[in-house]
Amino acid sequence: MKRSLEPELLDALGPEDSAARHSRNDLRRINRILGNEGWILREWRRRGRPGERILEIGAGTGEMGVALTARGLEVDGLDLWPRPPAWPQKAAWHQSDLRTFVGYDRYPVILANLLLHQFSAADLAALGRRLDGARLILASEPARRRWSQMLFALLAPLFGANHVTRHDGRVSIAAGFIGDELPAALGLASDRWTWSCRTSWLGAYRMVALRRSAP
């Protein structure tokens, strides 16, 4: 499958639209099915350092960051949306476009969950340059596979996904990644970074990128 980008319906809906609320609930179920929170926690326990703050880019309505904070991680959020009511009081919320945000240098750890597939190659390359000061980047995205599309089409009606989620799921998978496409798109240089990219059988594409130690 060649990577293709199409607009997602959820992006055009207001936060209080009933179809948008339904779709956000669907996304919570999808995160649980894919096991994204558990994967992030495992990787953090393997590679995180005490006192490091995590910046979740594209934090949306905040569910992932809230869940991770409850598990002991220090997570700040970045999104165009206003600060969610449930966002932890001690955690920062940056209401900004991630393509123009100027505070990345304050965060050694960057987290992206079901986000980066929405961006063009040019946007990903520009974002990669902004993230060049990070130590660790964790990203969980859709795997671009026919099997993933078939599996999603089978499972979506079973958990009650609405038309927005069914459309956006198909579009998201078509815009996802395989192999080393994501670190390449971000422009991560092999002399500065090591990375691993793996795909789960349920269709999660996961990248762990770790900056090499200085000689």
Four-CA torsion 92, 165, 157, 178, nearest 10 degrees: -80
Residue pair 121/185 in contact (Cβ under 8 Å)? The answer is yes
pLDDT score recorded for residue 16? 84
Q: For residue 39, give every residue at least 6 positions away whose Cβ sits within 8 Å of its Cβ, in sequence order, or none.
A: 140, 204, 206
How much is the average pLDDT of 173-177? 97
- Three-state DSSP string of the chain: CCCCCCCCHHHHCCCCCHHHHHHHHHHHHHHHHHCHHHHHHHHHHHHCCCCCCEEEECCCCCHHHHHHHHCCCCEEEEECCCCCCCCCCCCCEEECCCCCCCCHHHCCEEEEECCHHHCCHHHHHHHHHHCCCCCEEEEEEEECCHHHHHHHHHHCCCCCCCHHHHHHHHHHHHCCECCCHHHHHHCCCCCCEEEEEEECCCCEEEEEEEECCCC
Task: Show the tokens assigned to 30.
Answer: 């999808």
Whole-model pTM over 0.85? yes
Q: Roughly what angle, to the nearest 10 degrees, separates helices 163-174 and 146-155?
A: 170
User: How sure is the predictor about 124, in pLDDT bands with cuts at 50, 70 and 90?
Assistant: very high
Mean pLDDT of the chain: 94
User: How sure is the predictor about 11, in pLDDT bands with cuts at 50, 70 and 90?
Assistant: confident
pLDDT one-digit tens code per residue, 95-108: 999 999 999 999 99
**Tokens 């991770």, residue?**
68
Q: Percentage of residues in the chain with pLDDT exceeding 70?
A: 99
| Residue 141 β-bridge partners | 205
Q: Percentage of residues in the chain with pLDDT exceeding 90?
A: 92
How much is the average pLDDT of 36-47? 95
pLDDT one-digit tens code per residue, 48-92: 998 899 999 999 989 999 999 999 999 999 999 899 999 999 999
Domain locations in the chain? Answer: 9-211
CATH of 9-211, one of 3.30.565.10, 2.20.25.90, 3.40.50.150, 3.30.70.270: 3.40.50.150
pLDDT one-digit tens code per residue, 132-171: 999 999 999 999 999 999 999 999 999 999 999 999 999 9
pLDDT score recorded for residue 15? 77
